[in-house]
Amino acid sequence: MAAPARRIHSNATPAKRTERAEDTREGSTRPALHVVKNGRAEASASRDRLQQFLEWTRSRTAPFLQIVVSSVFLVATLVIALGLRTQMASNSFESDQTENHIEQLQQDIQSDQTKLDSLQASLPQKAQDMGMVAQQDSVTIDLNGYQPSDGGK
Amino acid sequence: MRLWKRLVNAIGEFGAHSVLVMLVFAMVASTCIVRLVDVQLVNAKTYAQAAADTRTASVTIKANRGKIEDTNGTVLAQSVERYDIIGDAILAQQFKPVNCTAKKTKNCHSINGKPVGTTGAAAVARLISGLLGIDAKTLGAQLSTTSRYVVLKKNVSPEVKRKLDKLNLGWCVYARLSSVREYSNGTLMGSLLGGVNGQNTGVGGIEQMENKVLTGTDGSVTYQVGGGGQMIPGTQIDKKDEVDGSDVKLTIDADVDWYVKKALTDGINQFHADWGIAVVQDVQTGAILALEDSDQIEAGSAEAMQRASRAVAETFEPGSVGKVFSMAGMLQLGLHKMTDQFTVPSTITVDGQDYKDSHEHGTSNWTLAGILQQSSNVGMIMAADKYTNEERYEFIKKFGIGQASGMNLPAESSGWLTSPSSWDGRTRNTVLFGQGYSTNALQITNAIAVIANKGVKNQQYIIKSVTDAEGHTTTAKHGEATRVVDESVAAQMLNAMESVGEYYKNETGIPGYRIAAKTGTAQVPGANGALTSIVADWVGVLPADNPRFVVTVILKDPEGTFGGMTAGPVFKTIGEFLMQKYQVPASTPRTDAIPVTW
């Protein structure tokens, strides 16, 4: 499939316009040779497509198309890499903001919890200040010698 | 010049100039190649390492110190995040505020909507003065130095730090994360909890004792930084997570401890005592439920770190409480029964030494139980005529007197108990009634708990459990329980002690509950070193029919002198609270009292 190109480059002197055109035609009319995998079970569809694409680019006689495709691929790769990089930075920034927010909330929780613990600890003192007194005597009922009344039967 | 002319002749002037330019280019290219070889091959590793070092930053992630909680999970001590506010004086002096206008409302500076009115350190000081609560002149002076690191205020709250961030002074005033230890209960258990120093290391009390467990392991994160010091996304090289310290749960019940402190403080005021100590111990487990003294020391303060709790550090002669240990020894050895009868005078002379009871009385017919009830020194000496010095020592020691409590509390004093070989003719008899050796409040509490716990001495403990950062709880290990006297001996002693409780029922009786107790009064050195001071103590078991708690109350120099009259009423107040709080069933009437007289 690369035969026409080799022929063009192997010429010591530039070919005439007509000759070159004939060569190009000849190259384009000759079917490109390629390995037919005979549809083996393990070949995936995407791989086939990539293979077809590569073969299509190689079947072109002019290297211009290959250069264009390569350039487009290169630019696309750069743009995608730039996009990914930007997205990463954006995600990192958001993540940093979220972490800061979580940290703030944790500090708030910690602060409120400390206040609550302190208030809980001061409860007995506040109860005492309000005049509340712990019960001192046990309440007992002495049933010794208890006689149920008739009405209780 | 000749070479140049020959060259011009050979290839013309243009050619010669071209060669000259080519030579210059060749030299530059050679230099570049040499440098390239140096950078890429010869010193490649060094330069790569230097570059990596320049853009790599490693930041320590501080681990939080664990909490200290009471037995119910109430937080007693915890670490909270705070910030130290740092100023760069050099940059502060270059500060020029940007006035806020209707159009420019962000990244500008104003004080209550008005322009700052000045520049440099004075402007920075004016802007942050209100927020930090520090006089602007003081701050201005601090920022007028040549220091690039001036600590303006320590331990400010996150709220203040956030407000500071909004002042747009980040380039000359910034915050550094720190932490502070907060104690919820103020003076409650102040010196028992201790505190932490600037390095977050426990100093004094539980903080020191459990420092290893409470301290976490710091983590770190290593990443590459940009020119402004910010992390380059996706460049984290290494991260080691921090491990927070474990939480320590005490056996102390903060509610009980609060009430004990209140009762103690009221008792101190009522009897005008110098100081007081109170301990509440669970009889069946040996857990300490309350450990208080009358000192009003804020937990975490410098005083709390320097001064140990009196409850563990103060030692004193137990006085007549010591009769319990000697009498139990006599019963255990079979030298006497509790019903043995004695005719006890008010004084006695042995080996030329005179001994007398605390109060004068006529010659009395008391049983051994009666001797304990009346707290007769003379009776104890009479009963101990066949009780050898070694036996006297052995039983005092077996009850844990003069021995470390095993709780490993910092600054705990073991008291002292000398060997019988060093006893003189008087000491061998005074040890029978609690003089000639000393103890601390924890020891004497556990010694009486032996009687309440059917003759078995439990290991006291104050650490209930430890919960690590992942939530795994480990119950603290305690020492083995040991039998000191037989169950029957303990029962007889408890019975006799209940007669003591009944004797003082007007002062210490708790309606509905039977109590067993022993009171003591001992002379101790006063401020001048002479035996001019008094320590009055009361150790009670309640309820006597099914012992749940041992409560010890000790007062120094109370008005009223005797333990039963001073420490006893404080015990009563604490006892009433305990019975109500733990909903202890009322006692059954006493039917098996051992006679105290004959």
Task: Give, in order, the Cα–Cα distances in Å from B325 to each of B209, B287, B480, B509, B558.
Answer: 31, 21, 21, 24, 25
Lowest pLDDT segment from A52-56, B146-150, B284-288, B431-435: A52-56
In this predicted structure, the answer to whether residue B480 has a pLDDT above a threshold of 90 is no
Residues B325 and B442 grouped into a single domain = yes
- When CB atoms are compared, the residue of A92, A113, A137 closest to B511 is A137
pLDDT in tens, B382-408: 999 999 999 999 999 999 998 888 888
Is B14 within a domain? Answer: no
**CB atoms A88 and B78 under 8 Å:** no
Q: What is the dihedral of CA A110, A116, A118, A124, to 10 degrees?
A: -160
The ipTM is 0.72
Residues B295 and B368 grouped into a single domain = yes
Q: Report, as an integer, the average pLDDT of B261-276.
A: 92
Is B224 within a domain? Answer: yes
Structurally, how many domains does chain B consist of?
A: 2
Residues B215 and B294 grouped into a single domain = no
Among B246, B265, B282, the domain boundary falls at B246
How many Cα atoms occupy the beta-carbon half-sphere of B462 within 13 Å?
A: 27
Binned at pLDDT 50, 70 and 90, residue A33 comes out as low
Nearest to B292 by CA among B309, B270, B313, B314: B309
Residues B211 and B296 grouped into a single domain = no
Instruction: Provide, rounded to the nearest whole percent, the portion of chain B with pLDDT above 70.
Output: 99
Partners of residue B78 in chain A, C-beta under 8 Å: 113-114, 117
- Closest CA–CA distance from residue A143 to any residue of chain B (Å): 13
Residues B216 and B264 grouped into a single domain = no
**CB atoms B162 and A135 under 8 Å:** no
Interface test with A, best of B163, B182, B188 (most A CBs within 10 A): B182
pLDDT in tens, A104-130: 898 899 889 888 988 888 888 888 889
Phi, psi for residue B164 in degrees, rounded to 5: -65, -40
Q: Report, as an integer, the average pLDDT of B11-16.
A: 84
In this predicted structure, the answer to whether residue A10 has a pLDDT above a threshold of 50 is no
Q: Report, as an integer, the average pLDDT of B229-249.
A: 84
Residues B397 and B546 grouped into a single domain = yes
Residues B223 and B123 grouped into a single domain = yes
**CB atoms B81 and A110 under 8 Å:** yes
Q: What angle do CA B195, B201, B204 make, to 5 degrees?
A: 40
Is B4 within a domain? Answer: no
Binned at pLDDT 50, 70 and 90, residue B258 comes out as very high
Instruction: Give the model's pLDDT for residue A61.
Output: 63
pLDDT in tens, B341-373: 999 999 999 989 999 998 888 999 999 999 999
Is B24 within a domain? Answer: no
pLDDT in tens, B496-530: 999 999 999 888 889 889 999 999 888 777 777 77
Q: Taking all residues of chain B, what is their mean pLDDT, rounded to a whole number?
A: 90
In this predicted structure, the answer to whether residue A12 has a pLDDT above a threshold of 50 is no
Instruction: Give the model's pLDDT for residue B229.
Output: 64
Instruction: Give the model's pLDDT for residue B539.
Output: 94
- When CB atoms are compared, the residue of A88, A117, A135 closest to B233 is A88
Among B246, B276, B302, the domain boundary falls at B246
Q: Is the model more confident about A88 or about B253?
A: B253
- When CB atoms are compared, the residue of B184, B234, B512 closest to A117 is B184
Partners of residue A120 in chain B, C-beta under 8 Å: 74, 184
In this predicted structure, the answer to whether residue A1 has a pLDDT above a threshold of 50 is no
How many Cα atoms occupy the beta-carbon half-sphere of B425 within 13 Å?
A: 7
Residues B164 and B262 grouped into a single domain = no
**CB atoms B74 and A121 under 8 Å:** yes
Is B2 within a domain? Answer: no
Q: Quote the domain boundaries for residue B383.
A: 254-581
**CB atoms A88 and B234 under 8 Å:** yes
Instruction: Give the model's pLDDT for residue B287.
Output: 95
In this predicted structure, the answer to whether residue B98 has a pLDDT above a threshold of 70 is yes
Partners of residue B182 in chain A, C-beta under 8 Å: 114, 117-118
Is B570 within a domain? Answer: yes
Instruction: Give the model's pLDDT for residue B41.
Output: 86
Q: What is the DSSP string of B422-456?
A: G--TTHHHHGGGT-SSBEEHHHHHHHHHHHHTTTE
Instruction: Give the model's pLDDT for residue B141.
Output: 92
Instruction: Give the model's pLDDT for residue B3.
Output: 82
Residues B283 and B217 grouped into a single domain = no
Instruction: Provide, rounded to the nearest whole percent, the portion of chain B with pLDDT above 90.
Output: 57
Residues B444 and B553 grouped into a single domain = yes
Instruction: Give the model's pLDDT for residue A4.
Output: 40
pLDDT in tens, B21-53: 999 999 999 999 999 998 888 888 998 888 888
- Closest CA–CA distance from residue B215 to any residue of chain A (Å): 18
Tell me, what CATH number does B196's domain have? 3.90.1310.10
Residues of chain B contacting A, Cβ within 8 Å: 74-75, 78, 80-81, 157-159, 162, 182, 184-186, 188, 231, 233-234, 254-255, 258-259, 262, 511-513, 576-577, 579-581, 586
The 3-state DSSP composition of chain A as helix, strand, coil percent (nearest 5) reads 70, 0, 30
Judged by CB atoms within 8 Å, which residues 123-142 of A form the interface with B?
124-125, 128, 134-138, 140
Is B173 within a domain? Answer: yes
**CB atoms A111 and B233 under 8 Å:** no
**B269 burial level (CB within 10 Å; 0-12, 13-18, 19+):** exposed
Residues B273 and B372 grouped into a single domain = yes
**CB atoms A121 and B185 under 8 Å:** yes
